[in-house]
Amino acid sequence: MARIEKWYEKVGDCSDVVCSTRVRLARNLRSYPFPAHASGKQKEEIAAKIREALLSGNSILADTFSYLPLENLTEEEAVSLVERHIVSPEFISDRRGKAILISADESVSIMINEEDHLRIQILREGLSLKGAAEMADRIDTLLGESLDFAFDSEFGFLTQCPTNLGTGMRASVMLHLPALIENGAMSRISNNLSKLGLTLRGTYGEGTQVVGGLYQLSNQITLGLSETEAVANLNAIASQLIEEERRARKEMSASIVLQDKIDRAAGVMKSAKLLSANEFMELLSYLRFGLSTGILHGVREEELNTLSVRVQPATLMAREGRSMDQNERDILRATLTREICAKIKE
């Protein structure tokens, strides 16, 4: 059987700045309480109904999905889902009654019994908000043929958190913004975005830290705007940020200080015997910066994208099929990094 390429092993539009696009739809079944108030039996019924609605549908999509009860996963497998941005950290904190439906290429996933009964998530490489939104709508329509979603004529789709009322849609793009961080522009940008109904979050979403210069730019308003309007607004602002980051990179690329940081990062990545996860992400940020400005050559973006997922702590252990202490992980991470980065030319 041929290996199926994962979505993160590819590059898309504006990939020098945009690592990925995500569109998520929150939905609830009308006849059940929200997950926070549902019994174990009710959660089982909800999961069974959602699974049946997708896997028994007439869509060709049904054949590409796997159903994973979270209680059946090891700790490493569950945390790896977070590292690959497939689920939220909160989703795996208590795995009872929870499950996920996931496509073979990991671009489509449905979290069952998270904050809402189901959350449809589409992940795409590069800037692809329109395409991701269209796919989310297709899945939503397919499930809506057999599931009775909680909907109000005034408030739209009903969700456990009032901030998701209306479309129930959250769209975001993962932006790599090292130059805007270096020139101190991020505070100004963040303040301006809040006035436009958008927000900048950490690498793994709300309440998380920024790692390796990666920010999530997402919409805040779900009530009073259509999905199309929300996507168009986010796309317009993302495009402005992309151009601002590119201008800043061009201005800074002649700096001997920056060139030194990039060359040092490349040297470490090509020769390190030990690499922690945080150090890897910080060095990777400089590598991406160097490749996008022509300071470095020899490695393709998709190779770095794949590597960045593969070397995360839990993902390393899940792939190896065993627990590893930090030292073992740091050694393996450095080995995998050297294999890819040996091709870098300065």
131 is in an annotated binding site: no
The C-alpha atoms of residue 236 and residue 120 are separated, in whole angstroms, by 24
The C-alpha atoms of residue 24 and residue 40 are separated, in whole angstroms, by 25
20 is in an annotated binding site: yes
- Take residue 20 and report the two structure tokens written for it: 């990925």
The DSSP string of 242-263 is: HHHHHHHHHHHTT-HHHHHHHH
311 is in an annotated binding site: no
119 is in an annotated binding site: yes
205 is in an annotated binding site: yes
Contact status, residue 17 vs residue 285, Cβ threshold 8 Å = no
The C-alpha atoms of residue 148 and residue 30 are separated, in whole angstroms, by 6
172 is in an annotated binding site: yes
Contact status, residue 165 vs residue 159, Cβ threshold 8 Å = yes
302 is in an annotated binding site: no
The C-alpha atoms of residue 268 and residue 283 are separated, in whole angstroms, by 8
203 is in an annotated binding site: yes
1 is in an annotated binding site: no
201 is in an annotated binding site: yes
78 is in an annotated binding site: no
**Start-to-end C-alpha separation, the chain:** 39
Residue 27 neighbours by CB under 8 Å, 6+ apart: 116, 117, 118, 119, 120, 140, 143, 147, 149, 150, 157, 168
Residue 306: CA count within 13 A, CB half-sphere: 16
222 is in an annotated binding site: no
Kindly list the distances between the CA atom of residue 249 and the CA atoms of 18, 41, 101, 246, 288, in Å, as whole numbers in the listed order: 14, 54, 40, 5, 11
- Take residue 313 and report the two structure tokens written for it: 């702590």
188 is in an annotated binding site: no
264 is in an annotated binding site: no
306 is in an annotated binding site: no
23 is in an annotated binding site: yes
Question: Which residue positions form the known binding site for ATP?
Answer: 20-24, 85, 119, 170-174, 201-206
Question: Which residue positions form the known binding site?
Answer: 20-24, 85, 119, 170-174, 201-206
